[in-house]
Structure 1
Amino acid sequence: MSDDVRELRGRPIVPGVATARALVSPETISGWGGIDPTTGTIIERRHPLAGVCFADTVLVFPGAKGSSGWSGFFQSTRLLGTAPAAMLFTTVTTKAVLGAVVTRVPTISELDHDPVSVIRTGDLVEVDADRGIARILERA
């Protein structure tokens, strides 16, 4: 992890601004069968964050995996009030982008630094997807 990097710049996917504690996933996240939208919890058995809730966090992850149902499950988190506050992901796929759009949370991708390596779970992060900037405001 690089403690000296405090600002990341990337491509805005969904506009908006949000500030929350980060939840960093070292692995991609499956939507269908990988999350419980009623609680905002990762339920994929072999995932390193199985049992961890992502609701109201800045969800930092490499990207989406699985079927096209990914976006539907993340849209359900918005409808049920369990969505992340914002998302930062590294790999742009139609699943991840559509999921971000239907979740309607500030989202940035294609960042100039790998957010999974730079941001730590518990860091306070501001995502300004209007400008394509993510800032680490406070280290955990």
Structure 2
Amino acid sequence: MNPMNTSASFKAEALTSGFARGPGVFIEPLSFWGGYDAETGTVVEQSHPAFGQTLAGVILLMRRAKGSSSSSSVLVEAIRNKTGPAGIVLCERDLIIAIGVIVANELYASQIPLVLVSSEDFERLCKTSGVIQIDARAGEETARVATASSPAL
């Protein structure tokens, strides 16, 4: 992992490998199908609390996803368009999100890390402001998620 002034570090289960760093953004469960615009990287579900917010390049903190199995295809397109999250942290397994990330990684060599953390660690991460870094190495089940107080690392 690149050195950073960490204020917290968490073990995670790596579902896909990759390295990502960016601002951590917590959102309520979202269906990418109909709720996310893969062209702009914006949450478009009008009733969603994150309506109008961009998720492009962020470390997405989402307890779980919701909705259609077609969400995986929207996530793949967002990753291809570079309008998707740089990394994703969940605390509940979600096959639809995993399929989207895996397919994007295979088709576009994107290496978007997808990790699972405990509920307790997820809550701590959601209270963090600043940069989150994910280091999920290929072939290793354990990943590391770290936080920093400043984006200038």
Q: Normalising by structure 1, report the TM-score.
A: 0.86
Letter in 2 for 1:78: I
Deviations 1:74-117 (A, max 9, x none): 00001212111111011102112112223431111143634254
**Unmatched 5+ stretches in structure 2:** 1-6, 106-111
Percentage of matched positions with identical amino acids:
24
5+ long unaligned stretches in structure 1: none
Shift of 1:64: 1.3
CA distance in structure 2 between the aligned counterparts of 1:116 and 1:28, rounded to whole angstroms: 14
Matched positions, count: 135
Alignment of 1:23-34 (within 5 A): 23-25=25-27, 27-34=28-35
CA RMSD, aligned part only?
Answer: 2.0
1:20 lines up with 2:22 in the alignment: yes
Aligned ranges 1:1-140 → 2 under 5 Å: 6-25=8-27, 27-104=28-105, 105-111=112-118, 113-120=120-127, 122-130=129-137, 131-138=142-149
Aligned equivalents of 1:8, 1:112: Cα separation in 2: 12
From the CA coordinates, give the structure whose radius of gyration is larger.
2
Larger helix proportion of the pair? 2
Q: Would you say the 8 A contact 2:22–2:57 is kept in 1?
A: yes
Aligned partners of 2:100 and 2:122: how far apart in 1? 19
Are the counterparts in 1 of residues 25 and 60 from structure 2 also a CA contact under 8 Å? yes
Amino acid at match of 1:135: A
